[in-house]
Amino acid sequence: MSRNPFSTGQTEGPGPASAHVPASARVYEALRGRIVALELPPGSALGRAEIAQSFNVSQSPVREAILRLEQDGLVLSYPQSRTLVTRIDRDRLREEHFLRTAVEADVARALALQSDPGTAVKLRGMLKMQEALAGEVEQIDLFKQLDEAFHEALFAGVNQLNLHRHVTARCGHLARVRSLDLPRKGKMRAVLDGHRAVVEAIAAGDAAAASGAMRLHLSGTIERLPEIVRENGAFFT
């Protein structure tokens, strides 16, 4: 029997923690997570009936989830035919990088100007957890979760979680390239060092340094793009 590509090996239906989450949102988040992680690589076909069965939902929330993924540029649906995961668009990738860098650099700047010691304490605690995983390739998934949580905490520090969700949804192509880049030797340590530079600038109340550190931190993957494309050409337009 072939493995269901939409199954995580666990029940996808609503449980205590997800009962209040709309079905379309659950399907969207799960599919987006697998696309970004390249578990559903470019060119993968998404069968709506199969997805509906896997998540124990009707096809209506599946259609809504796929529409959101289309708006994110992560899938393309052909009328009366099929839905495919898109290849990574290099032009859109650069737009997403510009958006994320501009927003997060300003978030880091705002945090430095706030001079809230509680924020620095929280961020340093997250750095300690990342430090324990840096270099442990078998823990890369957990490291990635902590990386995402770190950036979310920055937005939370300036009460801009809605903005964080917006930027995340608009940066799916960039997120896929980061998934390709993260296993690179030394990348986990580079991410940690970048986070640490941002936190120290925020703690020092140096807005210019915080903004600059964030820009430098977010530049690594995009600077390595030519090499990433050479190694994974089939994933790109």
For 71-98, b where at least 16 C-beta lie within 10 A, e where not — what string?
ebbbbebeeeeebbbbbbeeebbeebbe
Q: Are 228 and 181 in contact (CB under 8 A)?
A: yes
Question: How far apart are the C-alpha atoms of 70 and 183, rounded to whole Å?
Answer: 27
Q: How far apart are the first and last CA of the chain?
A: 33
**By C-alpha distance, which of 5, 25, 23, 6 is closest to 14?**
23
Residue 116 sits at φ, ψ, to 5 deg, of -95, 105
Q: What is the DSSP track for 110-123? A: HHHHHT-HHHHHHH
User: Per-residue pLDDT for 231 more than 90?
Assistant: yes
pLDDT tens digit sequence for 194-213: 999 999 999 999 999 999 99
pLDDT tens digit sequence for 75-123: 999 887 789 999 999 999 999 999 999 999 999 999 999 988 888 899 9
Q: Which of the 8 DSSP states describes residue 126?
A: H
Pseudo-torsion of CA 101, 107, 110, 116, nearest 10°?
Answer: -140
Whole-number mean pLDDT of the chain? 90
pLDDT tens digit sequence for 116-151: 888 889 999 999 999 998 877 778 889 999 999 999
User: Per-residue pLDDT for 33 more than 90?
Assistant: yes
In this structure, of 13-22, 140-149, 182-191, 192-201, the range with the lowest mean pLDDT score is 13-22
Look at 14 and 186; give whichever has higher pLDDT: 186
Question: pTM of the entire structure?
Answer: 0.86
- SS3 at position 236: strand
Domains and their CATH numbers in the chain:
23-85 (1.10.10.10), 90-235 (1.20.120.530)
